[in-house]
Amino acid sequence: MAGGAEKAGGARGSGGVRGPGGAGGSSTVGIKDATAIVGIGQTGFAKRLPEDEKTLACRAVLAALDDAGIDPGEVDALASFTMEETEEVELAKAVGFGDLTFFSKIGYGGGGSCATVAHLATAIAAGQATVGVAWRSRKRGSGPRPWTNTAVQLPTPAQWTRPFGLLRPVDEIAMLARRYMHEYGATRDHLFNVALACRNRANQNPDAIMYERPLTREMYMTSRWISEPLCLFDNCLETDGALACVVVSAERARDCRRRPVYVHSAAQGLPAQHHGMVNYWNDDPLTGPAWTAARHLWKHADLTPQDVDVAQIYDAFSPLIPLSLEGYGFCGRGEGGAFTEGGALEIGGRLPINTGGGGLSEAYVHGFNLITEGVKQLRGTSTAQVPGASTCLVTAGEGVPTSALLLRS
Amino acid sequence: MLSPVIDTEGAPFWEYAGRGELRVQACAECGEVRFPPRPCCPHCRSFACEWRRTDGRGRIWSYVRPHPPLLPDYAAQAPYHVVLVELDEAPRIRLVGNLVSGPGAPLDSVPEERVRIGARVQFVFDPGSGLPQWVLERS
Ligand SMILES: [Zn+2]
């Protein structure tokens, strides 16, 4: 498959290969439009599923390959999260993959979601593999909450935070959210706008956990606190489920069963002097990894934020949305809260987001459902379809070393 | 209650704190302070460091009030205040801690209406928990 990127670029007409001084701003071969997502698969989502994570992983992966029309024996690359419990060895022998020549796992929980596709795209564009599968299987609904395991203290930052009762991810993010609201005048109504947009889309999606459960402002404002200033509805769901997608070269994609969704640009982001979810010890804690990922993402794209038709923005907690809107350039610094006003995040608004319901209202599977929903939008098959959508931004967890994808049809 | 899992770099902080001193790691070559402690200076890459004493004064940069579900010892005191304190002498060092009415007081000992961003606070040490704490400065 050496030269796959070149052929793919030619096929797309927008150039997967850039020479020195090329329009992509890169002096080396890039991945722009060189690969495509051609299959997606998922299990059902529920608070409790009877099958174990390995079985769920197998089901999602086989569903994605079937969607693509590709035999499992052709898979030669894998990518997942370091937190994924199903090992490559177990998955590969269970579903009957061929010889694998590329496999990687990305750290930092939900920050790694888009990076799984990014790693596969890079490997395939570079000729290291031909058919890649990314997946996440997790029983976060019926399994234990990670923060309750005090025997497994996180490395160095934990000694500076946990003993004081800053125990959970929500506490860590609430600290930044309070400061953000104080500094820029963002309000609980802005966070409600985020929760509401996700819930409204979930109400259109029969697969969503919150399909038949509308949310009102009254419910939001009177719900119980989890970590002030964040309430129950600012927190994602706790879900059992698994998802997968299949990545191949753009050339191969044309022969697959579904309309290809091209990986136009991809990025990871770990900013200088970043500290993870407890990003309290640098000049500007409110500019996180999204800013770093965004700079790379747009630098290597033919598109700008104004060209994005729909976005799937990682929403483990509602304040991550205004922060990400700023980081990815949809509005200026401190304007993320105000951006949510006037139905901006709803269908027909300036930037419809999380059109399957997101982590807040469809399922929380470390953001992998945001990737598959992005693919559905660009196939035109979403349950909350944005008319004519041809570009979709998908982001991974903000507040931790992150990643992002810019997809196009 | 959870005790800090102390690593090699962080050990001096806890030793000094136990003596009632709030000290931060600083580069012995270029003088830049850094937190959390780490083996070498990200500015000049020197491995030589010193522990600089501070006056323990700061301002609340942000705070949260956690509610259950929490670990049992914390749930028993919830809601309580976890504050992030920006040190007067090293503004980029924002220490996580608890705002209490006095050394060793319960985590919920300061009424909610007295907590605000920008409030001036002072470091104290609680020998009982072995942890630094913060009290509101009298003004
Ligand atoms: Zn130095």
Determine which of B59, B64, B80, B115 to mutate to test the interface with A (most A C-beta atoms within 10 Å): B64
pLDDT of residue A4: 36
The pLDDT confidence band at residue A237, using thresholds 50, 70 and 90, is very high
Q: How far is B48 from chain A (nearest CA, A)?
A: 19
User: Considering only alpha carbons, which residue of chain B is nearest residue A177?
Assistant: B62
Compare CB distances from A150 to B36, B71, B79 and report the shortest one's residue.
B71
Burial of A287 (0-12, 13-18, 19+ CB in 10 A): middle
**CA pair distance A78, A95, nearest whole angstrom:** 13
pLDDT of residue A391: 98
Q: Is the pLDDT of residue A46 over 90?
A: yes
CA distances from A10 to A32, A125, A220 (A): 11, 13, 51
How many residues does this entry show for chain B? 139
User: pTM for the complete prediction?
Assistant: 0.93
In sign, the C-alpha dihedral spanning A90, A95, A100, A102 is negative
Interface contact A350, partner B, CB < 8 A: no
pLDDT digits (tens, 9 = 90+) for A313-357: 999 999 999 999 999 999 999 999 999 999 999 999 999 999 999
Q: Do the chains contact at B10 and A282, CB–CB below 8 Å?
A: no
pLDDT digits (tens, 9 = 90+) for B19-78: 999 999 999 999 999 999 999 999 999 999 999 999 999 999 999 999 999 999 999 999
**CA pair distance B132, A257, nearest whole angstrom:** 61
Interface contact A160, partner B, CB < 8 A: yes
Q: Is the pLDDT of residue A156 over 70?
A: no
Q: A108, A180, A184, A314: which is the annotated catalytic residue?
A: A314
Cis peptide leading into B106, omega within 30 of 0? no
Give A288 Cα–ligand 1 centroid separation in angstroms. Answer: 24
Mean pLDDT score, A69-93: 97
Q: Is A364 a catalytic residue?
A: yes
Burial of A82 (0-12, 13-18, 19+ CB in 10 A): exposed
The pLDDT confidence band at residue A152, using thresholds 50, 70 and 90, is low
Measured between beta carbons, the chain B residues lying within 8 angstroms of A319 are: none
pLDDT of residue A155: 57
Query: Which residues partner with B134 through β-bridges?
Result: B99, B123
Compare CB distances from A281 to B63, B94, B98 and report the shortest one's residue.
B94
- Asked whether the beta carbons of A296 and A267 are under 8 A apart, the reply is yes
Interface contact A101, partner B, CB < 8 A: no
The pLDDT confidence band at residue A146, using thresholds 50, 70 and 90, is confident
Q: Is the pLDDT of residue A18 over 60?
A: no
Q: A180, A220, A328, A364: which is the annotated catalytic residue?
A: A364
| Residue A44 per-residue DSSP state | -
**CA pair distance A144, A148, nearest whole angstrom:** 7
pLDDT of residue A27: 52
Mean confidence (pLDDT) of chain A = 92
Q: How far is CA A295 from the centre of its chain?
A: 17
Q: Do the chains contact at B64 and A174, CB–CB below 8 Å?
A: yes
pLDDT of residue A21: 38
Cis peptide leading into B79, omega within 30 of 0? yes
Q: Is the pLDDT of residue A63 over 50?
A: yes
Q: How far is B138 from chain A (nearest CA, A)?
A: 23
- Asked whether the beta carbons of B20 and B33 are under 8 A apart, the reply is no
- Give DSSP secondary structure letters for chain B: -PPP---TTTHHHHHHHHTT--EEEEETTT--EESS--SS-TTT----EEEEE---EEEEEEEEEE-SS--HHHHTT-S--EEEEEETTEEEEEEEEEB-SSTT--TT-S-GGG--TT-EEEEEEETTTTEEEEEEPP-
Say which residue, A144 or B139, is predicted with more confidence: A144
Interface contact B25, partner A, CB < 8 A: no
Q: Is the pLDDT of residue A23 over 90?
A: no
Interface contact B12, partner A, CB < 8 A: no
Q: Is A314 a catalytic residue?
A: yes
Q: Do the chains contact at A179 and B93, CB–CB below 8 Å?
A: no
The amino acid occupying position A17 is: V
Q: Characterize the bridge pairing of strands A35-42 and A77-81.
A: unpaired
Measured between beta carbons, the chain A residues lying within 8 angstroms of B74 are: 165, 167
